[in-house]
Each structure stands twice: as C-alpha cells, then as structure tokens.
A and B are shown apart, each in its own frame.
Chain A
Amino acid sequence: MSAGVELDHVTVRFGHFTAVDNATLDIKGGEFFSFLGPSGCGKTTILRTVSGFLDPSEGSVRIGGQDMSGIGPNKRPTALIFQNLALFPLMTVADNITYGLRVRGVSRAERDRKAQELLDLIALPDQGKKLVSELSGGQNQRVAIARALAVQPKVLLLDEPLSALDLKLRQHMRNELRAIQKQVGITFIYITHDQGEALTMSDRIAVMSDGVIQQVADGKTVYDNPDTPFVASFVGENNPFIGKVSKADATGAVIETPFGPLRGRNPKNLKSGDKAILFVRPESFALGKGAPDATLTAETISSAFEGNATHVFLKGAAVKNITMTVGRHGGAKIPGPGDKATISYDPAMGVVLAEGKMARE
C-alpha cells in the first residue's frame, strides 16, 4: 500500500535560522520523488519532518490525507533509511531486518518467514545469520532497505543512502533501488545532492536551495526548462550570460551581453529592460557560425578529451569560463589553446531567466 505525502506551507526553524521555508508539495502515492540540492539546503530537515523527528514550526504534513501533527515517528506509516544506515551492530542481519516486527510483537516463526522473504528480495538469501559487520557496504545498504520495508511502510524515506558507496556500486544500486520501488509499489522520497542520481531514478524532482523549493518537475523539465537561475546552474552544466533584455517577442528574448545581443526562449515573459541571465548548455553549442544573435567568438583556453565527447573551455569579453561539449560525430576540428573560435547555438536551446542567485561552483 502506498500513500501520498503533502507538505502544506511547511516552515522549519532552528532558533532564528530557517532551514525549510514555506514548502508546499504534493507527492503522489507510489511516486519516486527526489529532493535535490546542495549540502545544507534543508533536505534532511524535510525528511525528518515527514518522518516525525521534527515538528514543523509552521504548516502541516499530511500522509495519505491524514494530518500527522502530534503523531510520533514510531506511529507514522513511514520508514526512514539513514544517511549512515544505522543498522544495529549487535544483531544479526535477520534480526536487523525484522526488528520492526519484533517490537510489534510478531511471533518468531512469522518473523523468520518474513526475514527470508525480504532476504530473497534483496538477493542475500543466505546471509541472515551473519552480523552486519560481516557484510560489504553494498550488502548493508540492501539490509537497511529490507529493514525499512519489513514494517510495510506506505512511504519510504531515503537520506542519501548511496553516498557512502563507491561509484560503480552506486550506479548499480540506483537501478536496484528503482527496481525494488517498482516491485513494492510504495512511495519513495529520496534525498540526494547528486543530480545524476535524481535525474535517473525519479519520477519527479524538487530542487532546493537554502531551504526554499525552487522547482518541482520531472527530470527532463528540470533540465530543459529550469524555473530559476539556481536550477539552471545546479542541474547539469550550464553557461550563464548576464545582461539586460533588449527585445522580447513571441519567439523569445534578446539580451545584451558582453558578447553582444544573444537570443533565447523567454518562458518567464521578461520585458525589455529587465535584468536577466541567458543559459546555454555546453552540448547546445556547435563550432561555426549560426544566427547572428546566437553566435559568439571566444578564445580557446584548453580542451579535455573524454572518450565520447570533448569539452572545450573558452573565455572572452570578460566571461572567464565558457564550456562547450563537442560530440564525436561530425568530425569537427577541435580548436587548440589560444585559437579564436566562433561558436553558435540554436536559440531555442537557450533560456532567458530573470536575474537571481546561482549555484556556487
């Protein structure tokens, strides 16, 4: 059984510090929902508020339509997977997994049966008798998931559960997590500061910065149609060009940048004279001339060959760093260091947003 989670104008303060600022969200039952944001932006705080370890200073949390105020973490239909897993080191794997059932007074026999079922689910069928210290990091990861699933939560909350694993294992566990979620069909709320993780696994993503939810959308939308400069600069690589809107029409806006007028889409309907930032992704650039208000000339600093693509780093007109990614096809000649390069982009791939805070590099 799954349940949706609603945050209704939730604000969480620690003293005078606001860790979560007026968050309103509607996470649907059965959804794989991610919170993505840099360290310290309030992700864990939101998760702890949903699981009941923190009370919102304002607003309310509803799970399955039911108001959760005054209901403790041991009474909520949620299960939390901690950043450091927090498995019980003195218990066996099977005892860890069925601890939630034990405190509910489930009989030994029933617990053994359930442990076996979950060990099969996480593909560790013969490891029940071991101590958690005798398993590998990835195996412990799965034990933590099984322990949380054992109490049949309607919502599973995961706090950067993969951050302690090495890259290979992390990628493997992404698929596995997604598969487990499909199989058990409950709501997953997943926290990460790794955009790759968020983009590959989630149905929808909430991008956060300094306690404020910047945008809630599916991965493709967040990547292609960012709502704020923060989202544009935090999710994926992006090249910002700062300037003033000089012309706004039906197809987009032109802003005056140090490189001259550059054009992009205008989803926020900025008007002439507004301060704005144009974002163009590295892979949207191509070598050579394009439309006059989508072409710029810069000096090549260096390039980095990365197998499937080459990153070219350029500078010019007071902009220190422009990154362009050139794919292998087309056989374009990569400019060498010091070379002047003319590059252009499809104006439909640029997006003009009102000036605002960007993600720190």
Chain B
Amino acid sequence: MSSRLFVFILPVVVIAIFWAMARRESKLAHDPTHKSFFERNGTSLGIVFILLVAFWALFLVTLPYLYMVVESFHPKLPPAQRGGPTDVLTIAQYKSFFVNPIDNEVNGTHIYAFVFSILASVAVTALNFAICYPIAYYMAQAGTAQKVRLLMLGLIVPYWVNEILRAFALRLLLASKGLINQMLMGIGLTETPIDFLGNNTGLYVGLSYAYLLVMVFPLYNAIESLDKNQIEAARDLGAPWWKIHRDVVMPYAKPGIASGCTMVFMLSAGSLAAPQFLGGPSTLWFTSIVYDFFFQSFNWPRGAAYAFILLAACIAFVMLMLRLFKVSLGETIR
C-alpha cells in the first residue's frame, strides 16, 4: 500500500518543488513589463487551464507509467491479498526474466525471444534504411516535382488501409499457396513452395513495410535542405556517386538518419501485430510474451517488468548507437 501511495504523492511533490522554484525565480528576476499567467488570462480561466494541463500531464501521462513501474516491483497476488502483509516490494519479476521461477533454470525461451526481437529489429531498421534512403534522396534532390508528388501519394495511400489488413494481405501474398509462390513455381524457379512465413521473410518484409514512412520522412526532411550545389561541387571535384553520398549527403542527413532509425527500431521492437501475423510458427516476438502476461495469465507485475526490460534495453541500445555515430539526442528531434 505504502509504495503505491508514494507513487501518487511523488509527482505532486515534484510539481510543488518546481512551482516554488519558479516563484523564487520570478521574484529574483522581476520584470515589471512581464504579466503573470493569471494577469494575462484572468484568475478563473487560469485555474481551469492549469487544472486541465495538470490532469492531462498527471493522470493521463505520468501516473499510468509510474503505476506500472511500481506494479513491476510487486508480486502477483489475488485482489484480496493486495496491500496485505505478502504485498512486499520485490525484484522477483525482473529476476524471473533471467531465471525461470518454476524450475529455477535459466529462462532460455524468454531471453532468446528478447535477443531475437532486438536483433531482428536491427535488421529491419537496416533493411528499411536501405530501401528508404534512395527513395528519400530521389524525392528530395533528384526527382521532378510532379513525379515526387506521385511517389509520395503512392507511399502514403497504402497506409490508409489498417495495419492488420495490410499484414494479412502480405500473408496472402507470401503464403505457400500464395501469389508469389505460385508465380515462382509457374516460371519454374522452384519446385516446392518456399516457406516465406516460416523463415521469417514475411516478418522482415512486413515490419519494414509497416514503418516505411517513419523512415522516409525524416530522411526526406534532412536531405531536402541540402544545397544541390554541394552535391555538384563534390561531383565536380571528381567524386563518384557513392563517395558523394558517403562524404556529403549522409553526413549532412545524419540527424535525419538517426531519428528515422531510432523510431523504426523502437517501433519494430515494440510492435505486436506484424510479428503475430507474419512471423513463423516458431518465432516468439518479445512483445507477444508481454501481451500474454497481461491478457492471458493476468500477471500484470511480470508483464510490466518485461515491458520495462525491453524499454530499458531499447533506450540503452539507441543511446549507444547515437554515441557511436556522434549524434546528439537533440539533433534527432530537430
């Protein structure tokens, strides 16, 4: 009980501290021409604004997460025992990711799913970048305005179809009796159908496709502002096309590349639909495990712990990559 109560009090305390600091600041550096928030908006309207924003920030954004954090440090208990003597703070849920509480063996299945999800997301990000960079470059620098508009439309319109329908459509294409296999067998490239879904091709294709726009637009934004003359200057100085991209375009677009890759990586690591519909039967995506804890075994604490392990790992990985490529976090959200 006490720890859960603490969670609800914590944000209030933090806000109070910030408010006190702000008051002190405005007293110290008093600007007579500056009107205070209440002077500008009137007292009653000001109070309504503040309450609304506070409600949103506290109840809809901060508290749910904090609640989940706290939950993940508690044992799973039937409702009657919650807040009772057995409801103690524990790291058992986090430990259960590494050591299976049932047989005290290393939790191979979950660790494998975790590593696989991360690596597969890295692969998806790389694939996505390889597909999107030429598209973004074409749209930003090479294409004529009319063709670029058509291309953009072609990219955006498929996203009007909802995610599950899109995943199923891909599944139909890639299934062993699907269109692609029929075609391959028809022209005699293969005797037996290729199991695109079983070997996870479907998963990679589906995930890459799902987050195409998330990659294209940051890249496009970054490349678009590059002065064409710089590309021509490099070319004039004798650089072949790939050196122009390596030395001029990519360094310039680095913030966009970082932000696109970060988003695609985070989204695919946390995606649920595509892995479920397009992954092979033996493929276990980490988010599916989290999902099952919440909705199959109603083990919220363990689900929350797993979710935070994934979140922490993803953030750490992204930070590492940003550090490696010398991009600051601020640049990626420019």
Contact = CB atoms under 8 A, between A and B. Distances in A.
Interface of A: 51, 53, 72-75, 78-80, 82-84, 86-90, 99-100, 102-104, 147-148, 151
A86 to B, nearest CB: 4
A147 B229 contact: no
Given A82-B229, A86-B230, A103 B239 contact: yes
Given A103-B240, A103-B243, A86 B227 contact: yes
B135 to A, nearest CB: 23
A-B complex: 4 closest residue pairs judged by Cβ atoms: A86-B229, A100-B237, A86-B233, A103-B239
Given A74-B238, A100-B237, A86 B252 contact: no
B127 interface: no
Interface residues of B, number: 17
B261 to A, nearest CB: 19
B208 to A, nearest CB: 29
B237 A79 contact: yes
Interface in B236-290: 236-240, 243, 247-248, 251-252
Contacts of B252: 89-90
B232 A147 contact: no
B251 A147 contact: no
18 contacts: A53-B236, A73-B232, A74-B236, A74-B239, A79-B237, A80-B233, A86-B229, A88-B234, A90-B251, A99-B239, A99-B247, A100-B238, A100-B239, A103-B239, A103-B240, A147-B237, A148-B237, A151-B238
Contacts of A103: 234, 237-240, 243, 247
A91 to B, nearest CB: 8
A86 B239 CA distance: 15
A123 to B, nearest CB: 22
Contacts of B229: 82-84, 86
Q: Which of B227, B236, B238 gathers most chain A CB within 10 Å?
A: B236
Contacts of A148: 237
A258 B137 CA distance: 62
Interface in B61-93: none
A147 B230 CA distance: 13
Contacts of A79: 236-237
Nearest to B246: A103
Given A88-B248, A90-B252, A99 B232 contact: no
B230 to A, nearest CB: 5
Nearest to B231: A86
B235 interface: yes
Contact of A74 (B227, B230, B240, B247): B240
A82 B232 contact: yes
A341 B81 CA distance: 114
Q: Which of B233, B234, B235, B247 gathers most chain A CB within 10 Å?
A: B233
A112 B21 CA distance: 54
Nearest to A75: B238
A46 to B, nearest CB: 15
Contacts of A104: 238
Given A88-B248, A99-B247, A82 B233 contact: yes
Contacts, number: 61
Contacts of B237: 74, 79, 99-100, 103, 147-148, 151
A86 B238 contact: no
Contacts of B248: 88
A73 B240 CA distance: 10
A47 B135 CA distance: 30
A162 B252 CA distance: 26
B230 A88 contact: yes
Contact of B236 (A80, A83, A84, A90): A80
Contact of A53 (B232, B239, B247): B232
Given A80-B233, A90-B252, A100-B237, 19 more contacts: A53-B232, A53-B236, A73-B235, A74-B240, A78-B236, A79-B236, A80-B236, A83-B229, A84-B229, A86-B229, A88-B234, A88-B247, A90-B251, A99-B247, A100-B238, A103-B237, A103-B238, A103-B240, A151-B238
A89 to B, nearest CB: 8
Contacts of A88: 230, 233-234, 247-248
Nearest to B230: A86
Contacts of B247: 88, 99, 102-103
Contacts of B230: 86, 88
Contacts of B238: 74-75, 100, 103-104, 151
B233 A74 contact: no
Contacts of A147: 237
Contacts of A86: 227, 229-230, 232-233
Contacts of B232: 53, 73, 80, 82, 86
B11 to A, nearest CB: 42
B34 to A, nearest CB: 35
B76 to A, nearest CB: 53
A74 B240 CA distance: 7
A103 B243 CA distance: 7
Given A82-B229, A84-B227, A88-B248, A99 B236 contact: no
A63 to B, nearest CB: 14
A86 B237 CA distance: 12
Q: Which of A80, A102, A103 gathers most chain B CB within 10 Å?
A: A103
A338 B111 CA distance: 99
Q: Which of B229, B234, B237, B240 gathers most chain A CB within 10 Å?
A: B237
Nearest to A147: B237
Contacts of A53: 232, 235-236
Q: Which of A51, A53, A89, A99 gathers most chain B CB within 10 Å?
A: A99
Contacts of A73: 232, 235-236
A51 B232 CA distance: 10
Contacts of A51: 236
Contacts of B235: 53, 72-74
B331 to A, nearest CB: 12
